[in-house]
Amino acid sequence: MNYGAYALAALAIVMMGVDVVLAVRLRRAIVGGEVGQKWGLLTMLVGVFFVGYLLSPLALYYQLPAEYLNLLVFGVFLFGAVFVWVVIGIIRDTLTFLKLVR
């Protein structure tokens, strides 16, 4: 049994659970607008990640075949890239409004 991997998965699930709560709370606090829409997308992505994180120990336990595991890993990479893209968009909007961009 790879206890180290299970421990990391458990830690990741707890952290992502907290992130889900924070993201949903902030989503409710944001009135709307473009930033609100982007935050909605971001919250959805956090939710997708959370579901993936919950399933990750099962992938370990059932020793998912390498082909599926690769698909999972690259899927996470893709969603991660979209996540970063949305975060950059929100930060750019905010900084542009605050005139903190050269």
Closest CB to other proteins among residues 21, 95? 95
| 56, 90, 28, 16 alpha-carbon torsion, rounded to 10° | 20
Judged by CB under 8 A, which of 20, 30, 59, 76 binds other proteins?
30
Closest CB to other proteins among residues 1, 29? 29
Per DSSP, the three-state class of 64 is coil
**C-beta of residue 43 within 8 angstroms of C-beta of residue 97:** no
Closest CB to other proteins among residues 1, 31? 31
Residues between 33 and 92 that touch other proteins (CB under 8 A): 33-36
CB atoms inside a 10 Å sphere around CB 25? 10
Residues that bind other proteins (CB under 8 A): 30-36, 93-94, 97
